[in-house]
Structure 1
Amino acid sequence: MSNTNAAKLIIENIQLLEQSKKMIEDEIGVKLHEAVDKVIKEHIDSFGEWEGCYQFLEEGYIAFAPNNWKAKISNKFHQNFYARYSLSSESSETDQEGNEWWLSSFLKNDIERVIFNFYPWYDNFKEKVNNKKWKEFSNEQNQLIPQIEQLGFKYNATNGSWYLVVDGIEPAVFIESYENDDLEDALTPITEALDTLKQAHPYFDQIVQAAITKFGRIDSEDAA
């Protein structure tokens, strides 16, 4: 479709687009965010001694980590751990253009996908760690532990991070679940990705423990 024809189609349907935007953001999107919060929290709770921040509806933010990665206690979840997993979008790792709405990214599409990623929190190590130091360390770890990529994670050498792409939801499956007022049924790709993350977790734990050994563990005075 040419730009002229696309513009004509948009102009002719501008009110429908306005209504669609409001419905996506105020109704469908809210129900999706609520379901994602619930499904991920329940799945992570089944892992055992893990903690999480599940505020996808309120803040667009979900992160979680095992208790043995905790370095301190503060009112900001992500700052409490040597590293954590979080829900994000693929464009955050690739710097490519993403979708306008999370709904688009959760559905099968050719532009943007949802991911789970692994990131450190530099300030919790005794030695001053910056992006350059972490990348050198993570590059080495990626070579030492190929099992992470073998499980489907991608390594981002620019950030020194790993991420797992979540399969998109088939639109027909999403529609059926939405009509049944049970979007949790459509989020099987999320739980399947979390199961893969759980398989990879022992390798990420090796990385965190190696980082603590290399960069040092903060003590109670440092964490205060």
Structure 2
Amino acid sequence: MSNVQAAKLIIENIQLLEQAKIILEGEIAEKLLTSVDEVVKRYLEGFEGWGGNFNFYEKNDLKFAPENWQAKQETEFKHQNFYARYCLNCESSEIGGDYHEWWVSTFLKNDIDRIIFSIYPWYENYKEKVNKKKWNEFANEKNQLQPEIEQCGFKFNASNGSWYIVVDGIEPKTFIENYESDTLEDALIPITDALGKLEKAHPYFDKIVQAAIEKFGRIESEDAV
């Protein structure tokens, strides 16, 4: 389709597009993203000693970690208090590239951008001063020693020293059927499937985090306040 043809269609349907934007950013986004928050939170309730923030709808904030990764003791979960944490995001934020205007588009099966779960360190919580170069060298070494991580479905991003797993897109037909029947959580099987792979990979990530603590040093208690 040429730009002229596209412009013609847009102008002819401009009012419908305005209404679609309102519905997408309102009701549809709220139902989808609150369902994602609830599905991830419920799945992690089966993990003893884990905490997180599950507020992707309001703040684009869905992060979680086990308590043995905690560097600074606080009752409220803050990812800055952990040596590393898992989070939900999009692939374009991890490796660059094109992205969508709406999260709904990214959750659906498409050829532009995809939802991911990733794992990141928090450099400031190590006793030794750790920068990106130092962490990347460490992560690259550990990645080569842990091929099981890739076997679990994770990809290694050497430029960030991080790992991520792609969440399969939801089929539009499946989304529509569950949206109409108000059972949207049932459409989020790709999310729980990815969490299952994360659960299998976690012991290997835990080894890496513990090795990082041993190499770079655990933050002193007086510095953790």
What band does the TM-score fall into relative to the shorter chain?
Answer: over 0.9
Q: What is the match of residue 130 of structure 1?
A: 131
Separation in 2 of the partners of 1:57 and 1:5? 35
Letter in 2 for 1:81: F
String of CA shifts for 1:20-77, please: whole Å, max 9, x gaps: 0000001000101110110000001112210111011110110000111111135661
- Secondary structure at 2:127 match in 1: coil
- Secondary structure at 2:72 match in 1: coil
1:24 matches 2:55: no
Q: What is the match of residue 214 of structure 1?
A: 215
Which runs of no fewer than 5 residues in structure 1 stay unpaired?
A: none
Q: What is the match of residue 176 of structure 1?
A: 177
Letter in 1 for 2:51: E
Q: What is the match of residue 98 of structure 1?
A: 99
String of CA shifts for 1:67-118, please: whole Å, max 9, x gaps: 1111113566111110000000000111101111110011000001000000
Q: What is the match of residue 34 of structure 1?
A: 34
2:63 touches 2:87 (CA, 8 Å); kept in 1? yes
Separation in 2 of the partners of 1:95 and 1:70? 29
Q: What is the match of residue 61 of structure 1?
A: 61
Q: What is the match of residue 188 of structure 2?
A: 187
Q: What is the match of residue 6 of structure 2?
A: 6
Q: What is the match of residue 77 of structure 1?
A: 78
Letter in 2 for 1:85: Y
Separation in 2 of the partners of 1:77 and 1:183? 29
Gap change, CA 1:39 and 1:76, over 3 Å in 2: closer
Q: Structure 1 residues 192-201 or 88-97, which shifts more?
A: 88-97
Separation in 2 of the partners of 1:195 and 1:150? 13
Letter in 1 for 2:42: E
Which runs of no fewer than 5 residues in structure 2 stay unpaired?
A: none
Separation in 2 of the partners of 1:199 and 1:112? 25
- Secondary structure at 1:46 match in 2: coil
- Secondary structure at 2:97 match in 1: coil
2:52 touches 2:77 (CA, 8 Å); kept in 1? no
Q: TM-score, normalised by structure 2?
A: 0.98
Q: TM-score, normalised by structure 1?
A: 0.98
- Secondary structure at 2:212 match in 1: helix
Summarize the alignment of residues 34-53 of structure 1 with structure 2, pairs less than 5 Å apart. 34-53=34-53
String of CA shifts for 1:125-162, please: whole Å, max 9, x gaps: 00010100000000101111111011111100000000
Q: What RMSD in Å do the two structures reach over aligned CA positions?
A: 0.9
Separation in 1 of the partners of 2:158 and 2:215? 19
What is the aligned length? 224
Letter in 1 for 2:68: N
